[in-house]
Structure 1
Amino acid sequence: MKNIAVVILNFNGKHFLEKFLQNTLDNSPEAEVVVIDNASTDASAEYLKTAFPGVPLVLLDKNYGFAEGYNRGLATLTHDYFILLNSDVEVTRGWILPLLQVSLARRDVAAVQPKILDYHRRTHFEYAGAAGGFMDVLGYAFCRGRIFDEQEEDKGQYDTRSEIFWASGACFFVRAEVFRSLKGFDARFFAHMEEIDLCWRMHNQGYTVAYQPASVVYHVGGGTLPAENPFKTYLNFRNNLAMMFKNLPRKYLFPLLFVRLSLDGITGVRFLLQGSVRNLWAILKAHFVFYRWLPYLIGKRSKSFGGFKKLYAGSVVWAYFVKKKKTYTEICSK
């Protein structure tokens, strides 16, 4: 049996499976391609059984979201390596071996991300991951190649293999033993930020996360929830606070959380001024649920905090909006 599984979690993505699954099969000879279906209602399962009868299909009884959907599906597999792949990703020839080589070269590397380019603007980095993810001390995620909504053109400026803080869930290579030892994603997150939380926990345990530009994929993006969806706003704000509470050292926890909560309030006012009451309510709801989750989150607090020193020590919000620095290189240059 092949020891690598390319695992696609599907929820009502039949149109993406029709478009990209054969491409994944054609370009993944080193791996077994598996589909986990989150109780889709668009006949995805029936399509797979008919069009791809040789592709293993894990059927879940309801939509568990990205986090628990993957946890449940991956628990049925015995491979040594998983590559979690969004259904809206076009892979390229030879994309798997460079990812594996990074992991084989260094035992401390728990997860690896390829270069992720925009499917629609193929010369530009894609929003969800780009050339590897980072995070500042206030919990704001950014990428090499993408700061907030600013997506850089790929001119080879990030073609060096390097360590990163988080790898994108759009294409996430991970050692199965590490995934299992950390009990996978936090199922309460449902979707959004769960891969960043997992990577942070990896860092806390002494592992590293890597970026491999020799592997290239193209991501459509926004396939499940559009950018301005209030439910996405709710998930991002709720999960971000939960992730910070779980992983920040005690010394910095409350000061940084206070600043972050205040900045969330400013964002809420901005939404109100824009007439986006639903997004304002999404932030308020996220805060209410975060407070309700505190007993759970206290129990999930990390026992070690090695990941903290790998955060960007400044504020990416200040650098981007006040100092007008629009690229990773401008923000993180020494």
Structure 2
Amino acid sequence: MHWNSKSILGELLDAHITSLLGTDYDDFIVLIVDNGSKDGTPDYIQGKFRDPRLKILRLSRSYSFAIANNIGLNYAMRFKPDVIVFINNDTIVKRDWLRKLIEAFKDPNVGAAQPLIMNFNGTIQFLGGFVDKLGRSPSLGSISGSQIAERFVEIAVRHNVALKIYRPLGACVAVRAELLKEIKGFNPYLYFSHEELALATEIYARGYKIVCVPNSVIYHKYGPSLGRRKDLVPHAIANKFVFIILYMPRKYLFGSLVGRLIFEIALWVKNMALRRRLSITPFIVGLSYTLKFLIRAHTLRMGFSKIREELMTRTPLYLNERKLIAYAANELMRYNISLFTDYINDKIADHS
């Protein structure tokens, strides 16, 4: 999906499209969904990249991430794909990324797969995310957690396996087309953020799993356009609660909402103390969006799957970055216990 990409991304836009078209794979189509750009992005792309595999779908106005991708999904279905890959326009892919990513779907239990997502400085940005009872998603990656992630990747590559995770990163995720059709794509009630966490919940509810394929590699420049979209902040706050309302099992619902509210208030107060110019207004607006949603929440809640209890990680109310990484690492091991048991046994055998 593209939105004013020419002015925001600059040369990265050219590098993104060039790398996609240079993918070493026999049969694929690149569909660019232009989300109502006003800077001439679609005309620029059409004029510079004359490749029959490149299609542009121009939307008349700007939609949310979920809705714009769903429009693109419906359009893509006319090409009768087996797998659909959603990928951000601030990425650059390795030539063999798609071939290795698609191999994961040879396992009939895999519903979605993501590549290993790297920062441009060579550190691991995202290996996988999970979900707790407050609707948060501890994830493994970032600069501080990259060394831990590297060890997991080393083990997975050595055994030539994909790593089971709960949440993929929306920057790049491949999903079985028929499964997407059944789920009806991304949740349109999530205006900004938590879309991939909701998608993961629906995939697991249908008996599939989600994996990260460590030998499929892309590079991602995190959020170059978000700094210009301060209007999205209240939606991001609201979606933290909307996700809980729609997807949390009933027995955890009240505690999850109250706990998340306490956590978010404490976090916002802390950020205001550290950044004196931070306004409380976006937080209040976000909560007002949540209250409006609550009016129709009961009816809407019935139409969505709930998080499977055995897949939730149990975390304390407060999580600093170091603890967040530790819980994510623990969950990655729990989700892939047989792989790491084999690895430990191999190590013991080597030393005996």
Report if TM-score (shorter chain) is over 0.5. yes
Calculate the TM-score normalised by the size of structure 2. 0.82
Calculate the TM-score normalised by the size of structure 1. 0.86
After TM superposition, the structure 1 = structure 2 runs for residues 170-319 of structure 1, keeping only pairs within 5 Å, are: 170-226=171-227, 230-275=230-275, 278-301=278-301, 304-315=305-316, 317-318=318-319
Contact 2:131 2:313 in 1 (8 A): yes
Cα deviations across residues 242-296 of structure 1 (Å, max 9, x unaligned)? 1111111111100111111111111222233234565522222111111111244
- Percent identity over the alignment is 24
Read off the aligned partner of 2:83 and give its amino acid letter. Answer: Y
Say what the alpha-carbon RMSD is for the aligned residues: 2.5
Contact 1:164 1:209 in 2 (8 A): yes
Q: Give the deviation of 1:201 after TM superposition.
A: 1.9
Alignment CA distance shift 1:248-1:326 (3 Å): closer
Is 34-43 or 14-23 further displaced after alignment?
14-23
Contact 1:152 1:327 in 2 (8 A): no
Please give the alpha-carbon distance, in whole angstroms, between the structure 1 residues aligned to 2:61 and 2:152: 43
- Which residue is equivalent to 1:105? 107
* 2:71 paired with 1:75: no
Please give the alpha-carbon distance, in whole angstroms, between the structure 2 residues aligned to 1:216 and 1:316: 34
Please give the alpha-carbon distance, in whole angstroms, between the structure 2 residues aligned to 1:131 and 1:103: 18
Contact 1:11 1:37 in 2 (8 A): yes
- Which residue is equivalent to 1:6? none
Please give the alpha-carbon distance, in whole angstroms, between the structure 1 residues aligned to 2:48 and 2:214: 33
Contact 1:71 1:184 in 2 (8 A): yes
Cα deviations across residues 33-71 of structure 1 (Å, max 9, x unaligned)? 111101111211111111123311101011112111101
- Structure 2: gaps of 5 or more residues: 157-161, 335-352
* 2:37 paired with 1:40: yes
Contact 1:186 1:194 in 2 (8 A): yes
Q: Give the deviation of 1:308 after TM superposition.
A: 3.1
Q: Give the deviation of 1:305 after TM superposition.
A: 3.1
Q: Give the deviation of 1:105 after TM superposition.
A: 1.5
Please give the alpha-carbon distance, in whole angstroms, between the structure 1 residues aligned to 2:306 and 2:331: 24
- Which residue is equivalent to 1:135? 131
- Structure 1: gaps of 5 or more residues: 1-8
- Which residue is equivalent to 1:64? 63
Contact 2:186 2:195 in 1 (8 A): yes
- Which residue is equivalent to 2:341? none
Instruction: Write 1 or 2 for the structure with the bigger share of helix.
Output: 2
* Structure showing greater Rg: 2
Please give the alpha-carbon distance, in whole angstroms, between the structure 2 residues aligned to 1:11 and 1:231: 15
Q: Give the deviation of 1:326 after TM superposition.
A: 5.5
Please give the alpha-carbon distance, in whole angstroms, between the structure 2 residues aligned to 1:204 and 1:216: 28
3-state SS in 1 of match to 2:124: coil
Q: Give the deviation of 1:110 after TM superposition.
A: 1.4
Cα deviations across residues 87-119 of structure 1 (Å, max 9, x unaligned)? 11110021112221212212x321111110101
Q: Give the deviation of 1:220 after TM superposition.
A: 0.8
Alignment CA distance shift 1:315-1:229 (3 Å): farther
* 2:18 paired with 1:51: no
Please give the alpha-carbon distance, in whole angstroms, between the structure 1 residues aligned to 2:207 and 2:324: 34
- Which residue is equivalent to 2:338? none
Match of 1:13 among 5, 14, 23: 5
